[in-house]
Amino acid sequence: MNTNIETFKYDNRIVRAFGIMTVIWGIVGMLVGLLAAAELFFPGANLNLQFITFGRIRPLHTNAIIFAFVGNGMFMGIYYSLQRLCKARMFSDFLSWFNFWGWQAIIVSAAVTLPLGFTTSKEYAELEWPIKIAITIVWVAFAINLFGTIIKRREKHIYVAIWFYIATAVTVAVLHLTNSMCMPWGWLKSYSMYAGVQDALVQWWYGHNAVAFFLTTPYLGLMYYFLPKAAGRPIFSYRLSIIHFWALIFLYIWAGPHHLLYTALPDWAQSLGMVFSLMLIAPSWGGMLNGLLTLRGAWDKVRQDPVLKFMVVAVTAYGMSTLEGPLMSIKMVNSLTHYTDWTIAHVHGGGMGWNGFLTFSMLYYLFPRLYKTQLWSTKLANYHFWIGLLGMVFYIIPIYVAGATEALMWKQFNKDGFLQYPNFLESIVQVVPMFRLREIGGLLYFLGVLLMAYNLYRTAKAGQFEPDTEAQAPALEKVSEQSHGTYGWHRVLEGKPLFFTALAVVSVLIGGMVEIIPMFLIQSNVPTIASVKPYTPLEVLGRDIYIREGCLGCHSQMIRPFRSETERYGEYSKAGEFVYDHPFLWGSERKGPDLAREGGKYPDAWHFNHMDDPRATSPGSIMPRYSWLLTQKMETDTLPARLIALRRLGVPYPVGFENGPAQKDLSAQADKIVANLKVGSVTTDSDKEIIALIAYLQRLGTDIKSAPVAAAK
């Protein structure tokens, strides 16, 4: 036995810093969410400012909550628990603070660029390429600090929470790098390297696993640490936690295509996504039960301790979300829920319940300990608990009702075989009261967070911060053959964190590779359509405006092969139609109608008037006004850079096209639209942004109308 006891200090400063920013960004992210939610029943809530329209602040809300609120919460919990589980201070204080300041700088840059319209449009990966590079650097710093701490640990065994942290560090890196591949055409603008179907698969492989490996695996690690700690009891079954870990990371990575069911993605990929999603129920519920059963014999504590109360709801919400998610991945169920508000309710159940409540429980657990005092008011924390819980209920239930209403109205036929509600707006008008109720739920939840912020502030004021906590542990002995015999051969593997990491990476990569590689190599997955041509220069500009304004936040461009959709929107979408789409713009949500076949449906003047005031052409519409498009000039000086970038990505623009011919083409098409507008009694100049947007909208879905023959090579 090693008697060489070492004394060392845990770094609490970094934990406190991440903790404070968790609260601050939580408040900011939720405020933006409240504004976005208000704009859905009061379109004028943006005060006609382009920077805070729904399309631009929706990604700001999702990024703020995921990467700022949950991200800081994750780092706070990891930096606290990792040191104690390894019985070692963090590997490098410099890297800890580099991680902290780098992450805050990234969040601030997101808060500036997203409202300005700099976005890739890829959900949860909207930040443009310089910020993506910064994310990579900061993440690598975090990973070095994580592995460095594990290597210098004084505890022989690597606890399961650390496995989850390792899986998070390596998988987020792989996902981020793969999905961020792009071709820059300006300091803050780029086009995705992938196109159409392939871009969609990579994006949702990323998007789904961002939920898995940013919102789930690190938080599961935190649950495995903080739940036993708060309950004062060992974890119910360590064996179950091992199965939970390996099964979860192996299965999760395959499930991405469930975001693309009934789209133009090949059927085999959709089926894989559905089957693996269903299998995910088993490990997820194993983890949930492991958490809840840890509390057996300690339920009396749950009645008194707000930390445990928040944890119980968090773990239960995890269980509910991970049951609902797989059920929504069943193709038949998905045909109803997809594009509706049901998905919004689902993600908020997970976000508010699992991530939110677990974060609150960690904050209530950590602040008294960091400040060596009692929580200022347990009563206030209990109020927070109940207000937060009520807020969740008031948020989620109306949105479930809205989702079900939308799904049923979109699919309803009358007895003569026509759509019962042919005008999409009818469904939106029906659910607007639910949007109002949702705002009340969100406000309650937000109020709870304010109570928590005050409580934590008073706790900090009452106590004295302990920057370093002294600890003692024997130095780590070298692993001997004898100790292998004591604990089994697993010890060999576990004792080598890098080998363990490699195994985890292989488990994670298998699913991604089996899905993504064939999609790129087998041409029959994307049957080409001869009549599909690259966008004209004016349409390219218009498409970039569509991306800038975040139109895909409300409008999909993917008609699924259901009669209810083909009757409403036209011919269902084909994979070959998107081969020049860098990035793809299929969307995931319909607050307005699908636009995949929008081209030619309405005259140019209708689009002009609709953008100026949507309620003038569509009474009851919840779309904001886009009046600035009528006055702002389109950015033609960057056209050559855009066309060159697209050509490098494989779009067949002739060499030299960008030097003259493109500008002539642009002017001719713009003049034609101006002439069309005149016919509709609208007078404007040909250099306005609205002209480019109209050109793009009128192009949508028109290619296959000219020659509908698809030739699979």
Partner 1 sequence: MEEKIICSMNSAGMCGVISICIFVAFFTGMLLWAFAKKKNYLDKMSSLPLDGGETNATDKIQS
List the interface residues with partner 1, window 369-388 (CB under 8 A): 369, 372-375, 378, 381
Q: Which of residues 224-253 bind partner 1 (CB under 8 A)?
A: 224-225, 228-230, 232, 234-239, 242-243, 246-247, 250
Q: Which of residues 449-468 bind partner 1 (CB under 8 A)?
A: 466
Helix then strand count (H, E) for the chain reads 29, 6
Tell which residue, 316, 250, 256, 325, has the closest CA to residue 283. Answer: 250
Tell which residue, 707, 401, 427, has the closest CA to residue 554. Answer: 427
User: Which span (319-327, 486-494, 591-599, 636-644) binds partner 1, by CB under 8 A?
Assistant: 486-494
Shortest separation between residue 659's beta carbon and partner 1, angstroms: 35
Find the binder of partner 1 among 35, 130, 155, 527 (CB under 8 A): 155
Nearer to partner 1, 46 or 290 (CB): 290
Secondary structure (3-state) at 339 = strand
Residue 226 tokens, joined:
């903080």
Residue 69 exposed, middle or buried by CB count within 10 Å (0-12, 13-18, 19+)? buried
Shortest separation between residue 389's beta carbon and partner 1, angstroms: 18
Rg (CA), the chain: 27
Residue 97 tokens, joined:
């603070």
Shortest separation between residue 272's beta carbon and partner 1, angstroms: 6
Q: Which of residues 83-122 bind partner 1 (CB under 8 A)?
A: 84-85, 87
d(CA 557, CA 402): 21
Q: Which of residues 9-28 bind partner 1 (CB under 8 A)?
A: 10
User: Dihedral sign, CA of 307, 309, 312, 315?
Assistant: negative
d(CA 548, CA 536): 18
H-run or E-run covering 115: none
What track of x and - describes contact with partner 1 for positions 259 through 298 (by CB under 8 A)? -------xxxx--x--------------------------
d(CA 690, CA 682): 12
d(CA 91, CA 8): 12
Eight-class DSSP state of 42? -
Nearer to partner 1, 49 or 242 (CB): 242
Find the binder of partner 1 among 154, 438, 560, 590 (CB under 8 A): 154
Size of site (CB under 8 A) for partner 1: 71
Q: Which of residues 200-229 bind partner 1 (CB under 8 A)?
A: 224-225, 228-229
Shortest separation between residue 347's beta carbon and partner 1, angstroms: 27
Shortest separation between residue 470's beta carbon and partner 1, angstroms: 5
* Phi, psi of 343, deg, nearest 5: -60, -40
Shortest separation between residue 202's beta carbon and partner 1, angstroms: 17
Shortest separation between residue 204's beta carbon and partner 1, angstroms: 17
Nearer to partner 1, 173 or 248 (CB): 248
Residue 303 tokens, joined:
């009645």
Tell me if 184 sits within 8 A of 129, measured CB to CB. Answer: yes
257 binds partner 1 (CB under 8 A): no
Sequence-separated (6 or more) residues with CB below 8 Å from residue 131: 106, 109, 110, 113
d(CA 605, CA 614): 13
Nearer to partner 1, 303 or 415 (CB): 303
User: Which span (118-126, 342-350, 480-488, 557-565) binds partner 1, by CB under 8 A?
Assistant: 480-488
d(CA 393, CA 387): 10
Nearer to partner 1, 377 or 636 (CB): 377
d(CA 642, CA 537): 9
Find the binder of partner 1 among 300, 416, 470, 637 (CB under 8 A): 470
Find the binder of partner 1 among 256, 351, 368, 599 (CB under 8 A): 368
Cβ neighbour number for residue 604 with a 10 Å cutoff: 23
Strand partners, 189: 186
Nearer to partner 1, 183 or 456 (CB): 456
Nearer to partner 1, 282 or 710 (CB): 282
Shortest separation between residue 181's beta carbon and partner 1, angstroms: 19
Shortest separation between residue 366's beta carbon and partner 1, angstroms: 9
Q: Which of residues 497-536 bind partner 1 (CB under 8 A)?
A: 507, 510, 514-515, 517-518, 521-525
Q: Which of residues 683-712 bind partner 1 (CB under 8 A)?
A: none
What track of x and - describes contact with partner 1 for positions 30 through 69 (by CB under 8 A)? ----------------------------------------
d(CA 364, CA 224): 17
Find the binder of partner 1 among 4, 7, 480, 683 (CB under 8 A): 7
Beta strands 182-186 and 710-711, pairing class: unpaired
Nearer to partner 1, 80 or 535 (CB): 80
Shortest separation between residue 29's beta carbon and partner 1, angstroms: 24
Beta strands 468-474 and 5-11, pairing class: antiparallel
Residue 309 tokens, joined:
């109360």
d(CA 359, CA 377): 18
Find the binder of partner 1 among 79, 100, 124, 159 (CB under 8 A): 159
Tell me if 489 sits within 8 A of 672, measured CB to CB. Answer: no
What track of x and - describes contact with partner 1 for positions 305 through 344 (by CB under 8 A)? xxx-------------------------------------
Sequence-separated (6 or more) residues with CB below 8 Å from residue 709: 529, 530, 531
Nearer to partner 1, 137 or 522 (CB): 522
